[in-house]
Structure 1
Amino acid sequence: MVVFLVTFFVLMLIGVPICFCMLGSSALYIIVNDISARIIVEKFCTGPNSFTLLAIPFFILAANLMNNGGVTDRMFTFCRKWVGHFTGGLGHVNVLASVIFAGMSGAAVADAGGLGQLELKAMRDAHFDDDFTLAVTGASSTIGPVIPPSIPAVVYAVSAGCSIGGLFMAGIIPGLLMAASMCVVVYIWAKIKNYEKDPKATWKERWIATKRGFLSLLTPAIIIGGIWSGKFTPTEAAIVASLYAGFLSFVVYKQLKLSDLKALLLNTAEQTIVSLCIIASSAVFGWVLTYERIPQIAANWFLSLSDSPTVFIFLSMGILLIVGCFMETIAAITIMTPVLLPIATSMGYSPVHFGVVMILVLMIGLITPPVGLVTYTLANISGVAFTRIAKATMPFLGVLLIVLICIALFPQLSLFLPGLMGTGV
C-alpha cells in the first residue's frame, strides 16, 4: 500500500496527468501484489460504461455551440441592459451572466474560457482594472457547476448512486447564494474604487435586448423545466440542450456554418476524452482503495477524532479544499466520494446534501493555487500573471467560504427544492 500511495503522489508532483497517476499507481499495486492484470482492463472499461455519463459530452458540446454561435453574446447584452447601471456596473453583469450560463452548460472552465473572454473585453473597454475584472470573472465561473445542469454533479451522482435530478435541484439555492454574495463584494469594491457604471437603459433598450436574447434565455428553462416535469432525464436534457444550441447557432442566429461543425465536434471529443479517461482510471484506483479497505480505515480515523457530524463535515471540507487545490474536479470527486460518502451517510447526512457541499468546495479549488484551472484559463486569455489573479480573488474566496459553511450547517438550503419537487434527496 505504501508503494501505491508513494507512486501516486510522486507521479502527481512531477506533473504526470492525473488519469495516468491513478492508472500507473494502481497497475503497479496490482502487479506487485500478484493480482490478475485482468482487473485493470475490466474496471477501466466498465468505469465509464454508464448511460448517465453520456450527459458529459452533450453538455460540453452545448457550451461550445453557445460560446461560438452568438448565444452568450446575446445573453451578455441582455444582462448589461438590466443590471449594468447598478454600482459595480459590469461586475454585476458578469455575475448575472454566469448565473444564466450556469443554467446552460454546467462547466466552470467553459464559462471562464468562453463567456469570460466576452466579459474581459467589455470590462477592459469600460476601464475596469484587471484585478477586479479577472477576480469577478474567475469567481463567478465557479457558479456554473453548482446551478443545474452540472457536469461534476453528473459524475458525483454516478459515483454516489444518488438522484441526478435531486442533485440538480439542490444546487439552485446554493448557486444563487454564491451569486448574491459576489454581488455584495462587487458593490463594496466598486464603491471603494469609484468605478463607473453604465447609463440606465431605457425600457425600449431593455425590450430590444430581451427580445434579441429571448430564445437564448429559454435554454435554462427548457433544461430545468424538462427535468422537473419528468419530460426527459438529465442525460436527455443534455442532448436537448445541444440540439437547441445548435438550432440557435446554425439556423436562427446563423453565426455558425456547417464547416465549423467539425472543429466544434473535435474540441468536444478532446474535452470528453479527458473527462472519461479520468473516470475510467479512477475506477481502477477506486478498486485498489476498496481492496485495501481505505474507506473503512478513513471512517475509523474520523470516528477516533469525533463522532460529531458537524466536526466531520468541517474536516471533510478541509480535506476537500486541500484536494481541490491540487487535483482536477472530476478526479477529486471520483476518488473522494467512495471514501467520504459512507461516513457522511452513517452520520445522517443526505447523499444529495453532501454532494452539493463537495461540489461547492471543489469549485473553490478552481480559483485557488497551485492548480486553479479557472485561474490558469483566465491567465492564458488575459496575459495577466496567475499569482496576481489568485491574489485578486481573495475577497470573493472569503464570501464563498461563508456560503459554503452556511450550506454545510443548514442542509435545508440545498434539500428544500428537491423535497418540494419530489426529485429525491
Structure 2
Amino acid sequence: MSTTLVLFGSFIIFLLLSVPIGVSLGLSAVTTILILQPISMEVFTQSMIQGLNSFPLMAVPLFTFAGDIMGKGGISKRLLKVVSLLFGKGTGGLGIVSIVTCLFFAAISGTGSATVAAIGSIMIPAMVAKDYDKNFAGALVSSAGTVGVMIPPSLCMVVYAVAANTSVTGMFTAGIIPGILVGVVLSIYCYYYSRKHGYKGESITYTSKEKLAIVRDAIPALLIPVIILGGIYGGIFTPTEAAAVACIYGIFVSVFVYKEVKISQLPSIGYNAVLMCAAVLVIIGISSGFGRLLTFTQVPVHIANFILSITQNKILVLLCINALLLLVGTFLETNSAIILLVPILLPVVTALGVNPTHFGVMMVLNLSIGFVTPPLGANLFMACQISDIKFDDICKAIWPWILVMIVALLLTTYIEPLSLWLPQLLNITV
C-alpha cells in the first residue's frame, strides 16, 4: 500500500506541477525507488531500454513515415476524395468523412498516431475552414485515430496474441467488426453535434465523369490495404515487415505515380516522422520501466484479487475489469499494459467462461481509449503537434468522444458475437 501511495501520489503531484507525462512517469518511479527501494535503479533502467528494444515496435516510426509520406504524396488526399463522394454532402459531412477515412487508413498505418498525423493534417484545417470548432475537429480526428489498433494490421493485437498464446490471425479478424462499430458510434455523435451547431457538408456537385476520374485516380491508394493485409494473411510478411512495405509502396506512389513528393524531400520527411513519434516512444520506454515497478510491487495482483473479492458475477467482473483498464490506459502505454495485465486478468476471465480472443478485443478496444484519455493521450499530443491546438483545450473537447467510445466498448464486452462471429464464419481459430 505504501508503494502504491508513493508511486501514484508523486505522479499526480508532478502532473499538477505541469511536468510532461513521460517525465512524470519516470520521476514518480525514481522517487518511489529512492524512498522505498522496491527494485534497483539498474533494473528500472534496463526495463526502459528493453521496452524500446522490440521488433514489433520498429513498426511505429516506419508506419509514421508511411503515413507522413502518404499525406504529403497525395495518397490520403485521394482517399478522402473517394470517401467524400459517399459521405461528404450530409450534415457534418467533413467530420464523417474524416472518421470513415481513418477507418480505411487504419488498414494502412496500423497505429493511431500515424492515422491522426496523416488524416488530421488534411482534415483539421479543412474543417476549421468550414467554420468547425478547432478543438472539436482535433478531438474528432484523435478519437477516430483509435481504430488504428482495432482494424488490422494492429501491433497491439499481435502483442496480445503473443502474451495470451492465441491466434494473431484470429485477433486480426475479431477486431474488424468492433473497429467498424467504433467508427459508427463516432459518426452518430458527429452527426448529432454537427446538426446542433449547424455544420454543413460539402456543397460541390460532381458529374458521373468526374466521379469516375476521382475513383480511377485513387486506385493506387486503394490498393495499399489490399497489398498490406493480403501479404499478412497470405503469410508473405509480418506486420512489422508490412510497415516497411507500406513505406516502399508509399514512396513509389508518391514519387513516381502521383509525383507530389521529390526524392530530395525524403530525408526531410523521414526526419519529421522521427520527431513526431519520438515523444510517444519516450513515453513507451519510461512506461515499460514504470510497468516493471508495478510488477515487482504486485500492485496489479492486489487489484485483481480485490476485484474477485467483490464479486464473481461475470457481468460485474467484466465491468470492474473495464474500469480498471480504463484507469490503466490513462497511465501506461497500451503494449506495456497488455504485457503487464494479460497474465493476471486472462485466468480470471477464462475461469468465468470468457473466450480469450473476445477478451483480447475487449482489452485492446478499452486500452485504445487511453490514446485520447489525459494525461497519456498519445493521439491528443499528435493532434496538437499537427494543428497548433493547446493540449488543455483539446482535453476539454475530448470527453464526449470518450463517453461515446465507452458505449462501443460496453457493446463489444457484452455482445460476444461482435468479435467472434466473423472468425467463426471464416473458420479461423479463436
Counterpart residue number, 1:411: 416
Shift of 1:35: 7.0
Deviations 1:62-112 (A, max 9, x none): 222212222111111221223212333212211111111111112223233
Counterpart residue number, 2:245: 240
Counterpart residue number, 2:405: 400
Deviations 1:188-223 (A, max 9, x none): 333334433324433222211111111111111222
Shift of 1:176: 0.8
Shift of 1:313: 1.5
Is 1:202 aligned with 2:207?
A: yes
Give the one of 113, 116, 120 matched to 1:116: 120
Counterpart residue number, 1:253: 258
CA distance in 2 between counterparts of 1:157 and 1:103 reads 18
CA distance in 2 between counterparts of 1:217 and 1:334 reads 34
Shift of 1:321: 1.9
Q: Matches of residues 159-170 of structure 1 in structure 2 within 5 Å? A: 159-170=163-174
Is 1:73 aligned with 2:77?
A: yes
CA distance in 2 between counterparts of 1:226 and 1:36 reads 44
Range moving further from structure 2, 164-173 or 151-160: 151-160
Counterpart residue number, 1:316: 321
In structure 2, the residue corresponding to 1:173 is in which secondary structure?
Answer: helix
Give the one of 88, 93, 103 matched to 1:89: 93
Could you say if the C-alpha distance between residues 45 and 370 of structure 1 is closer, same or farther in structure 2, counting changes exceeding 3 Å?
A: closer
Q: Matches of residues 45-194 of structure 1 in structure 2 within 5 Å? A: 46-130=50-134, 132-194=136-198
Could you say if the C-alpha distance between residues 409 and 73 of structure 1 is closer, same or farther in structure 2, counting changes exceeding 3 Å?
A: same
Deviations 1:341-365 (A, max 9, x none): 3433343333332232222223333
CA distance in 1 between counterparts of 2:320 and 2:157 reads 21
CA distance in 1 between counterparts of 2:52 and 2:131 reads 46
Shift of 1:323: 2.9
Percent same amino acid at aligned positions?
36
Shift of 1:145: 2.2
Counterpart residue number, 1:2: 2
Could you say if the C-alpha distance between residues 34 and 362 of structure 1 is closer, same or farther in structure 2, counting changes exceeding 3 Å?
A: closer
Q: Which letter does structure 2 place at the counterpart of 1:402?
A: V
Q: Which letter does structure 2 place at the counterpart of 1:365?
A: G
In structure 2, the residue corresponding to 1:121 is in which secondary structure?
Answer: helix
In structure 2, the residue corresponding to 1:235 is in which secondary structure?
Answer: helix
CA distance in 2 between counterparts of 1:337 and 1:121 reads 40
In structure 2, the residue corresponding to 1:195 is in which secondary structure?
Answer: coil
On the 8 A contact 1:23/1:284 being kept in 2, the answer is no
Could you say if the C-alpha distance between residues 41 and 89 of structure 1 is closer, same or farther in structure 2, counting changes exceeding 3 Å?
A: closer
CA distance in 2 between counterparts of 1:165 and 1:238 reads 17
In structure 2, the residue corresponding to 1:118 is in which secondary structure?
Answer: helix
On the 8 A contact 2:60/2:111 being kept in 1, the answer is no
CA distance in 2 between counterparts of 1:42 and 1:392 reads 38
Shift of 1:317: 1.4
Q: Matches of residues 224-373 of structure 1 in structure 2 within 5 Å? A: 224-270=229-275, 284-373=289-378
**Length, aligned pairs only:** 425
CA distance in 1 between counterparts of 2:301 and 2:374 reads 31
CA distance in 2 between counterparts of 1:45 and 1:193 reads 48
Could you say if the C-alpha distance between residues 290 and 424 of structure 1 is closer, same or farther in structure 2, counting changes exceeding 3 Å?
A: farther
On the 8 A contact 2:44/2:292 being kept in 1, the answer is no
Q: Which letter does structure 1 place at the counterpart of 2:237?
A: F
Shift of 1:392: 4.0
Could you say if the C-alpha distance between residues 373 and 42 of structure 1 is closer, same or farther in structure 2, counting changes exceeding 3 Å?
A: closer
On the 8 A contact 1:156/1:334 being kept in 2, the answer is yes
Q: What RMSD in Å do the two structures reach over aligned CA positions?
A: 3.4
CA distance in 2 between counterparts of 1:383 and 1:56 reads 23
Could you say if the C-alpha distance between residues 27 and 101 of structure 1 is closer, same or farther in structure 2, counting changes exceeding 3 Å?
A: same
Gaps of 5+ in 2: none
CA distance in 1 between counterparts of 2:207 and 2:40 reads 71
CA distance in 2 between counterparts of 1:253 and 1:5 reads 56
Q: Matches of residues 212-227 of structure 1 in structure 2 within 5 Å? A: 212-227=217-232
On the 8 A contact 2:21/2:376 being kept in 1, the answer is no
On the 8 A contact 2:33/2:40 being kept in 1, the answer is no
CA distance in 1 between counterparts of 2:260 and 2:379 reads 26
CA distance in 2 between counterparts of 1:235 and 1:422 reads 25
Could you say if the C-alpha distance between residues 226 and 423 of structure 1 is closer, same or farther in structure 2, counting changes exceeding 3 Å?
A: farther
Gaps of 5+ in 1: none
CA distance in 2 between counterparts of 1:295 and 1:397 reads 24
